[in-house]
Chain A
Amino acid sequence: MEEHKKNAPGRELSFVVGGEVSIRQDPWWWLVVAVAAIIVLLVMLLPVPFREIVLFARDGILVTMVVTVASYFLILIVGLLGGLGRISKNKLIFGLASLYVEVVRGIPLLVQLIGWYFASPVIIQKLGLWLNLQALIEYRPNPIITAIMAITVCYGAYMSEIVRSGIQSVPKGQMEAARSLGMSHFQAMRHVVLPQAFRVILPPMGNEFIALLKDSSLVSVVAVADLTRRGREFMSAHFNPIETWFMVALLYLIMTIVAARVVSYIEKRSKYERY
């Protein structure tokens, strides 16, 4: 592969490789620099309240990141299984996957989060009473784990559809050729279809990550001390809504635009020519 890059630089058919992360190749990094500079300047020049906000909310930033990354990892697994289910020839698997996608997509994430957090413990406790199991009766939900689970269930449905569309974008002949060489369906999926589908769905997958990072702010309603919730706590204590939400917005913005740059870098790295 290395050799080839040298042989065909810049030609229409040349292998496209992004290479280094540099401002020259991706001018949007200037936006990241600008936003970072604003944050740093505010913190340095106006430590009250901006430095205080950042210090107060830093554990919230960490929680937001943990919830986002952990959920995203689980979403990828659910999305792969759901997407394979949505193209399954087995009617039961197809039916279950489709039902999951259709139902979950039709309910707002906020409602799902609140439902999981407030309703599911009651159901588990009632079940415990009925079965007379002490462990279930004393069940108390862990906010972060419940939130991650609720987000995974919801976003997993969207991701399933992305994976399905990616698999269906790979020409049928690829699977046929693989099968005709004696590969099993599973081997053909793993070595031929999914690697090609993955490159197609990278942009929407990246999109989901950025949307997820922002939607993770909804977990603040179910007792998770994320960036949004910490911002609200700071505002209530100091009565300065303008500064607080300006800084919280900047902190979200820096996270999302860095994520967007990383996504775009990965996209460039993994492009290849299709015929």
Chain B
Amino acid sequence: MPEPIVQIKDVKKRFGRVEALRGVSLDVNEGEVVVIVGPSGSGKSTLLRCINRLEEYEEGTIIVDGMTLDNTSNINAIRREVGIVFQSFNLFAHLTALQNLMLAQRIVRKRSREEAEKIAQALLAKVGIPEKAKAHPAQLSGGQQQRVAIARALAMNPKIMLFDEPTSALDPEMIKEVLDVMTSLAKEGMTMLVVSHEMGFARAAAQRVIFMDEGLIIEQATPHDFFENPKEERTRLFLSKILHL
């Protein structure tokens, strides 16, 4: 059994007086797709953001691809291996889609202009919008922006992809196009941690579903067991709220 690519051990994090994470431990294996669900304020986004140190944490350890995230200087090295997709896309507003994909390749990966552009074009084709290369973010729909954002993260050849509620800011008719891209990425064997309440995606693509509440992991199981036979009372209560149909 190889080492898990992400090892989280007893991580604690507080915002002022609020304890966002109260001792979370989680291992993710290479190629695994883990979906994290939980009520708002449960710490799921915070956990994700700790994995590439967009948030700092007070206690515990996180090891990503053999590198320990501490306060020393390897943070940019880890961020190169971990891509993140945000709820609000965060595309660079002053650049075209193509330039969005090329910028970090050029200055972080030090690729030539030709190489970066080739990779960018290929990725835009992969997420289904090669014709939008010259468009600025404001000229794209939400779904298109999020697909560009996924492509931008992939352009760095990350080993792990984090998705922080990638479809929460989208109009309903655009959710599918983003989930399709994510599902095909999962099929290719990408290691993914996804904070999302898209149960269809969890069932189709995840190996594991994790339920978090009040800064703790309450339950984890395969999607089938998680949705059909939740063990914890709190999980059942939560599922009854989001599966309201």
Task: Please report A residues at the B interface, Cβ cutoff 8 Å.
Answer: 1, 3-4, 8, 13, 15, 171, 173-174, 176-184, 187, 191-192, 195-196, 199, 272-275
Say yes or no for B104: interface residue by CB 8 A criterion: yes
Stretch at the interface among B13-21, B82-90, B115-123, B215-223: B82-90
Q: What is the total number of residues of chain B having a CB less than 8 Å from a CB of chain A? A: 32
Are B76's CB and A1's CB within 8 A? no
Given A1-B134, A3-B134, A180-B54, residue A187 in contact with residue B107 (CB < 8 A): yes
Are A273's CB and B139's CB within 8 A? yes
Task: Please report B residues at the A interface, Cβ cutoff 8 Å.
Answer: 52, 54, 76-77, 79-80, 82-84, 86, 88, 90-94, 96, 103-104, 107-108, 134-139, 145, 149, 152-153, 156
Are B92's CB and A192's CB within 8 A? yes
Q: In the complex, how many angstroms separate the beta carbon of B192 from the nearest chain A beta carbon?
A: 15
* Beyond A3-B134, A192-B103, A273-B138, 4 additional pairs, beta carbon < 8 A: A173-B90, A180-B54, A180-B153, A275-B138
Are B76's CB and A182's CB within 8 A? yes
Given A180-B84, A181-B156, A182-B104, residue A174 in contact with residue B138 (CB < 8 A): no
> What are 10 A-B contacts with C-beta separation under 8 Å?
A1-B134, A13-B139, A181-B79, A181-B80, A182-B79, A182-B80, A182-B104, A183-B108, A196-B93, A199-B94
A179 to B107, CA, bound (A): 12
Given A180-B83, A182-B80, A183-B108, residue A8 in contact with residue B93 (CB < 8 A): no
Are B54's CB and A176's CB within 8 A? yes
Are B104's CB and A181's CB within 8 A? yes
Residue of B nearest to A187 (CB): B107
A3 to B88, CA, bound (A): 28
Which residues does chain A contribute within 8 Å of B54, judged by CB atoms?
A: 176, 179-180
Are B107's CB and A191's CB within 8 A? yes
Which residues does chain B contribute within 8 Å of A181, judged by CB atoms?
A: 79-80, 83, 103-104, 108, 152-153, 156
Are A1's CB and B139's CB within 8 A? no
Q: In the complex, how many angstroms separate the beta carbon of B114 from the nearest chain A beta carbon?
A: 19
Given A182-B156, A183-B108, A187-B107, residue A8 in contact with residue B139 (CB < 8 A): yes
Are B136's CB and A15's CB within 8 A? yes
Which residues does chain B contribute within 8 Å of A173, judged by CB atoms?
A: 86, 88, 90
Are A273's CB and B90's CB within 8 A? no
Are A274's CB and B138's CB within 8 A? yes
Contact of B92 among A3, A15, A177, A187 (CB under 8 A): A177
